[in-house]
Structure 1
Amino acid sequence: MLATADLHIHSPYSIAVSRFMQPEQLLAGCRTKGIRVIGTGDALHPDWQKQWQPFLVNDTGIVVVPQGEIEDVNRVHHVILAEDFAQFSQLRDLMDGKCKSFATTGRPHVYLSGEEIAALAHEVGALVGPAHAFTPWTAMYAYFDSVPACYGTATIDFCELGLSADSSYGAAIPDLYDIPFLTNSDAHSPYPDKLGREFNRIEIGQSTAKGVLAAIREGAVVMNAGFFPEEGKYNRTACTRCFTQYSLEDAIDLQWRCPADGGIIKKGVSDRAKELSTGGTAHPRPPYLHVIPLAQIIQTMEGSSSPNTKKCRAFYTSFIETFENEIAVLIDVPVSEIRAVHPKVADAISALRSGTVTLHPGGGGKYGTFSL
């Protein structure tokens, strides 16, 4: 059975997360979006575990996978997936004394290496992999040049690409040849422009968390979907203050300081991936479908300041009432049927499906944009 999955989100216990990130709202958001498998986010937090407990089995048919993110001693972030919360409780006990408090933050910082975290995750039967691996902050490839440099002798079960990368960015990196790619939203809000903005299609044998983990172990991820990498806010090498973009060579010559305002120039994901791609030709990967959240498409086509204006929300509601969920509109519904609801949105989705949009790459912390 094919299932659409978003396996990395957060809870209100993490920094800069909406207070509306609650289990009921998240499940409702999944139905609207078309997500059939959702990570819980922040599963190491004891109070968040309790809030999810009544919803682990629900009447929506949505599979809930216990999931958390953790920061190691080197500031690298890791995603952990488990079959049940008991494994996260065991993991928390094993890390006792290595964290100031698991009760004060949803994404804890622990005084352990990536190797130690991976070993402990495997000890309790969980899966682990680098979060948003290519992002130039708090990510594996921000600080290390290889998987063994970060994880030592421990293995990883997947690699999360992040919003500024797609499968092509990791396909020629030998360390990743046998590692499944995941692409997830890392959502801090339950709204449709955030939740499920990146997702996976996974062939699962049974609709349970155990079934989802088994599928990932077997590499049964049949499709990844998400932003064009150029839309990511760290895609190109750029100044973190004025966002002026530079070639890698110019950034090196400038010693990573912007001559315009003295801001730090941050190496972009695109340049970083090229540095790491030593494997020559790209290793075969499942298809990566480039999508843009429907709310963002409507906002762009209407020329609105926000996807949450009254007009944009009314159009979004019309699409959901007509076609049941957003992912169906983005991927499956014929353009001719979309045109009956909103002709300009139909044009945009047609261009997205054919890959004929014009991209304006982001960098330095500023998101990229698109136009027709």
Structure 2
Amino acid sequence: MASSPRMVPFEIIRGCRVKGISVIGTGDILHPEWRQMWQDTPVDDDIIVVPTTEVEGSGRVHHLILLPDFDAAQDLARRLGPMSSDMNRNGRPRVPLSGEEILSHVHAVGGIGGPAHAFTPYTSVYAVHASLSSCYGDEPVDLLELGLSADSRYGAGITELAHVPFLTNSDAHSPEPSKLGREFTVLSLDRADSYGVLSAIRQGKIVMNVGFFPEEGKYNRTACSRCFRQYTLQEAISYSWKCPDDGGRIKKGVAERAESLSSGIISERPPYLHVIPLSEIIQRVLDTKSPATRRCRDLYLQCIDKFGDEITVLMKTSPEAIASVDIRLSHAIRAFREGNIILHPGGGGKYGSFEIPDL
């Protein structure tokens, strides 16, 4: 749903090479036709494909699942299928089971899992439950996905998460490199396959998390879901979570939710690098209405042709080298690497925005 018709395995793999992604999750792997499409798509050794899915359990909580191979995906589909009314037509099937029951099935087939976008006001574990154990019981939680509106700082002060690895993931509705891997996790692998990926996550072998400035997320701050006016937590409580301007529901922001869960004792986490998609930086540099304009695409392709892939441009290429392509782009990339960005936080369902000074 709501995806480009080009969002098929072959195009996704091609987009990964332009972006610089070497491990990709399939998403929606419990859907039989989508699973078959991936099994029928040849993939070279430079890309590791991990069967993944998100399911909606009881309480409308979303759970992220990673599996070691397609056989495990088929086994999990057989286990959960009889309890789901929409597994054959919904990429994110609904399964009327608790988090504990879902992860029990996942572990039985050799997979790992945990809460998806854990702090958002809709369909997240902390929107419904006061603790992980309330959702997952005694079943081990292998990972926690931060979501676009949070970074590692948001979970590092929550005591029960001290030993849970944080993943930075982003779903994609288009195979364009600007949409793939907007957030990603750098892992230290002992073996270059899906089993190695799952093992690295289990052991917490995360080198770096890379993702948006959390203020760019559409649920970062507490805000009205209708007019998007932002409120402090105290204001929202005083208004009984109803916007005085238009009567819309005020939704608790990720920043406030994480703060209310934190104990103040901060666990050590891998570095978190905040990035902005290259196409969006180019859009600001060229001052165009869309990153899809011809001028933006031409400059994007110049960078890819010269430096290899987008992630290399964003993370590794020196500003001096980038200046040989475009001096303004060099200034912009240096600015976000140094955190010299003006952020306008999102909330209530409206994405935040950013400015790069002195462009």
TM-score range (shorter-chain normalised) is: over 0.9
TM-score computed with the length of structure 1 as normaliser: 0.94
- 1:283 aligned to 252, 256, 267, which one? 267
Secondary structure of residue in 2 paired with 1:201: strand
- 1:329 aligned to 290, 302, 313, which one? 313
Residue equivalent to 2:331? 347
Q: Once the 2 structures are TM-superposed, how far is the Cα of residue 343 of structure 1 from its aligned partner? A: 1.8
Aligned residues: 356
- 2:254 aligned to 266, 269, 272, which one? 269
Q: Tell me whether 1:25 sits opposite 2:11 in the alignment.
A: yes
Q: Once the 2 structures are TM-superposed, how far is the Cα of residue 47 of structure 1 from its aligned partner? A: 0.5
2: CA distance between counterparts of 1:187 and 1:58? 19
Query: Cα deviations across residues 67-123 of structure 1 (Å, max 9, x unaligned)?
Result: 111000211111111111111111111123210131111110111111110111001
1: CA distance between counterparts of 2:72 and 2:308? 35
- 1:260 aligned to 245, 248, 260, which one? 245
Residue equivalent to 1:305? 289
Q: Once the 2 structures are TM-superposed, how far is the Cα of residue 54 of structure 1 from its aligned partner? A: 2.9
Residue equivalent to 1:224? 209
Secondary structure of residue in 1 paired with 2:40: helix
Q: Tell me whether 1:80 sits opposite 2:68 in the alignment.
A: no
Residue equivalent to 1:367? 351
Secondary structure of residue in 2 paired with 1:96: helix
Structure 1 vs Structure 2 CA RMSD: 1.1
Residue equivalent to 1:244? 229
Letter in 1 for 2:271: P
1: CA distance between counterparts of 2:81 and 2:231? 44
- 2:40 aligned to 54, 57, 82, which one? 54
1: CA distance between counterparts of 2:44 and 2:185? 22
Letter in 2 for 1:31: R
Once the two structures are superposed, the pairs formed by residues 39-118 of structure 1 within 5 Å of their partners are 39-55=25-41, 58-59=43-44, 61-118=46-103
Question: Does 34-43 or 46-55 show the bigger shift?
Answer: 46-55
2: CA distance between counterparts of 1:191 and 1:58? 18
Query: Cα deviations across residues 257-303 of structure 1 (Å, max 9, x unaligned)?
Result: 1111111111100000000002x231100000000100111112222
2: CA distance between counterparts of 1:134 and 1:194? 22
Q: Percent identity?
A: 53
